[in-house]
Chains A and B, each alone.
Chain A
Amino acid sequence: MKNVKYTKWQLFSLVLLRVFIGWHFLYEGVIKLYNPSWTAKSYLLTSQGFMKSFYVWMAGDSFISVVDTIMVAGLLVVGVGLMAGIMTRWVAVAGSIILLLLYLAHPALPGLSSGLSAGNYWLINNNLIEIAALMVIYQFPVSYYFSLEFIFKKEKSTEQTV
Chain B
Amino acid sequence: MSDNKSSWKWSRRDILKGLSGIPFLGTVWWAGASFSKNIQKEKSKILESLNIDAVLPPPTGSMSGDPVRVGIIGFGIRGNQLCRALGFATKSWLSDMKESVSANPQDTRLNEFLDQENLNVKLTAVSDVFDVQAEIALDSFNTDTNQIRRYRTYEEMLDSGNVDAVIIATPDHWHAPIAIAALHADVHVYVEKPMTHNITETYALREATLNSKAVLMLGHQHRQTQSFLTAQDIINKNVLGHVSLIQANTNRNSDNGAWQYHIHEKASPQTIDWNLFLGNAPNVSFNKEHFFRWRKWWAYGSGLSGDLMTHDYDRINCVLNMGIPKSVITSGGIYTHRDGRNVPDVMQINMDYPDFSTGSTQEQGKEKGMTLVYSATLGNQYDRNTILMGHDGTMHLGNRLAVYIDPRSTRFADLLEDNNIDVSVPVYEYDPAAGELDGITSATSRYFANKGLLWTYRDGKRVDSTFLHLREWLSCIRNGGKPSCGIKEGFEEAITAHMGSLSYKLGRRIEWDAGKEEIVSVPGYDLDEVLLANVERVA
Contact = CB atoms under 8 A, between A and B. Distances in A.
A30 to B, nearest CB: 3
Given A26-B25, A43-B444, A116-B443, A154 B454 contact: no
Interface in A26-44: 26-27, 29-31, 33-37, 39, 41-43
A19 B457 CA distance: 40
Nearest to B16: A145
Contacts of B25: 22, 26, 80, 83-84
Contacts of B17: 145-147, 150
A56 interface: yes
Contacts of B436: 37
B434 interface: yes
A60 B460 contact: yes
B285 interface: no
B459 interface: yes
Contact of A37 (B24, B435, B443): B435
Contacts of A29: 32
B460 A56 contact: yes
Interface stretch (B4-12, B86-94, B210-218, B473-481): B4-12
B28 A27 contact: yes
Contacts of B36: 30-31, 33-35
A150 B18 contact: yes
A33 to B, nearest CB: 8
Interface residues of A, number: 51
Q: Which of A33, A115, A155, A158 has the most CB of B within 10 A?
A: A158
A122 B21 CA distance: 35
A45 to B, nearest CB: 6
Interface string B36-48: 1101100000000
B438 interface: yes
B3 interface: yes
A30 B29 contact: yes
B contact face: mostly helix, strand, loop, or mixed: helix
A144 interface: yes
A84 B22 contact: yes
Nearest to B14: A154
A31 B32 contact: yes
Contact of B21 (A19, A56, A162): A19
A42 B451 CA distance: 11
Contact of A115 (B10, B447, B461): B447
Interface string B425-463: 000000101111110000111011101011001011100
B1 A150 contact: yes
Contacts of A139: none
A8 B36 CA distance: 38
Nearest to B20: A146
A85 B448 CA distance: 36
Nearest to B431: A42
A23 B28 CA distance: 7
A30 B433 contact: no
Interface in A132-157: 141, 143-151, 153-155, 157
Contacts of B8: 158, 162
B423 to A, nearest CB: 22
A129 to B, nearest CB: 20
A85 B433 CA distance: 39
Contacts of A45: 433-434, 448, 454, 457, 460
A41 B28 CA distance: 26
A26 B32 contact: yes
A27 to B, nearest CB: 5
Contacts of B40: 34-36
Contacts of A158: 5-8
A61 B37 CA distance: 27
B454 A151 contact: no
Interface string A61-89: 10010000000000000011001110000
A85 B19 CA distance: 9
B35 interface: yes
A42 B437 CA distance: 11
B103 interface: no
Contacts of B1: 141, 143-144, 150, 153
Interface in B369-422: none
Q: Choose among B1, B19, B35, B443 the residue with the greatest number of A CB atoms under 10 Å from its CB.
A: B1
Contacts of A26: 25, 28-29, 32
Contacts of B457: 45
Interface in A88-145: 115-116, 141, 143-145
B106 interface: yes
B444 to A, nearest CB: 6
A19 B24 contact: yes
Contacts of B10: 151, 154-155
B364 interface: no
B14 A157 contact: no
Contacts of A151: 10, 14-15, 18-19
Contacts of B538: none
B18 A83 contact: no
Contact of B460 (A19, A31, A52, A59): A59
B522 interface: no
Contacts of A80: 25
Interface string B327-346: 00000000000000000000
A145 B28 contact: no
Contact of A61 (B31, B437, B460): B460
Given A116-B447, A148-B21, A153-B2, 14 more contacts: A42-B434, A42-B454, A45-B433, A46-B448, A46-B451, A83-B21, A84-B21, A146-B21, A147-B17, A150-B17, A150-B18, A153-B1, A154-B14, A161-B6
18 contacts: A19-B24, A26-B28, A26-B29, A33-B32, A34-B40, A46-B454, A64-B460, A115-B447, A116-B447, A143-B1, A146-B24, A147-B17, A150-B14, A150-B17, A150-B18, A151-B15, A153-B1, A157-B2
Name the 8 nearest CB pairs between A and B, nearest first.
A30-B32, A34-B36, A60-B460, A151-B18, A145-B17, A42-B448, A42-B434, A146-B21
